[in-house]
Amino acid sequence: MITLSGIIGSGKSSLTKLLSEELGTEAFYEPVEDNPVLPLFYKGNEIAAKRRANGEEDTSNPYAYLLQTFFLNRRFKMIKQAMTEDNNVLDRSIYEDAIFMKMNTDMGNATQVEYDIYKSLLDNMLEELPYAAHKKSPDLMVMIDVSYETMIKRIKKRGREFEQIENDPSLVNYYKQLLDYYATWKTEYSASPLLVINGDKYDFMSSLSDRNEVLNLIEQRLVDLGKLTEDEFKEIKAKRGEKLG
C-alpha cells in the first residue's frame, strides 16, 4: 500500500491516479467536492484574520475543529478500507492529519482544548488501526514537496474559488505557514519508509519524461523495500512503453 502526502495543490490526486493505473490497483481519493465544512472553514479563516487585525479577543475559527474531525473520520475509514487488501494507493493519509490541527491551534484558529481532544482521538485511532485494518502502516509514503510558487500555480489551475488567494488574501500567510509545517513533518515522519519527490523539478502531469522518471523512482523504491521484484519492475516499465508507443 502506497500513501501520498503533500500540501494543497501538490498533485497528490494526480499522482495517485497515475500510480493506480500503472500498478493495476485501486485508488482511494480524499473527498473534497462533497465536503460541506470546507467552504465554511475557509470563510471562518477570513473572519478570524479580520478579528486578529481588529485586536479582538476571540480570534478562533469556529469551523476548524469541525473540519479536522470531519477529515479525520473520513481518512480513518478510507485507510481501513485500503488496508484490507494488499495493493492500493491513497491520495492522502491519516498520518499527516495532525499538521492542520496543530497549525490552526498555533494560529489561534482552534483552541488548545480542541487540539488536545482532537489529538487524543487521533492517537486512539492510530492505536486501533492495526486491529481494524490488519496492517500496521503503509508500505511506502510518497511526499510531493513543492514551493509556494508551484503550489499557487496548481491551485489556480484547479480553480476552486475558496482556495484562491485573490479571493482571500489571508490565505497567503496560511499557505506559507502550512509549507513550514510540512517541512517539519517531513523530518519527523517515521510510520513507514518515506520517499520525497521534488514537485518543482518534476511536472509529472504535463511532462511525459518527468512522469516516467517519477514512476521509476517510486517503483525502484518498492523494489528496494522488497515490495516489487526486479522482473515485475521491468514488466511494468515495458507495459508503460507499449502504452506510450
Q: What domains appear along the chain, each with residue ranges and CATH number?
A: 2-244 (3.40.50.300)
Task: State what percent of residues in the chain have pLDDT above 70.
Answer: 96
218 is in an annotated binding site: no
Q: Which residue out of 34, 86, 91, 180 is catalytically annotated? A: 91
51 is in an annotated binding site: no
68 is in an annotated binding site: yes
Task: State what percent of residues in the chain have pLDDT above 90.
Answer: 56
Residues 6+ apart with CB under 8 A from 129: 76, 79, 80, 83, 94, 135, 136
242 is in an annotated binding site: no
Q: Using the predicted structure, report yes or no on whether residue 33 has a pLDDT greater than 80.
A: no
Residues 139-160: pLDDT tens digits? 999 999 999 999 999 999 888 8
Mean pLDDT in residue range 182-198 = 95
Is 203 a known active-site residue?
Answer: no
Q: Using the predicted structure, report yes or no on whether residue 32 has a pLDDT greater than 70.
A: no
What is the value of pTM for the model shown? 0.87
**Range ranked top by mean pLDDT from 35-44, 123-132, 216-225:** 216-225
164 is in an annotated binding site: no
Q: What is the pLDDT of residue 79?
A: 87
Lowest mean pLDDT among 17-21, 76-80, 81-85, 168-172: 81-85
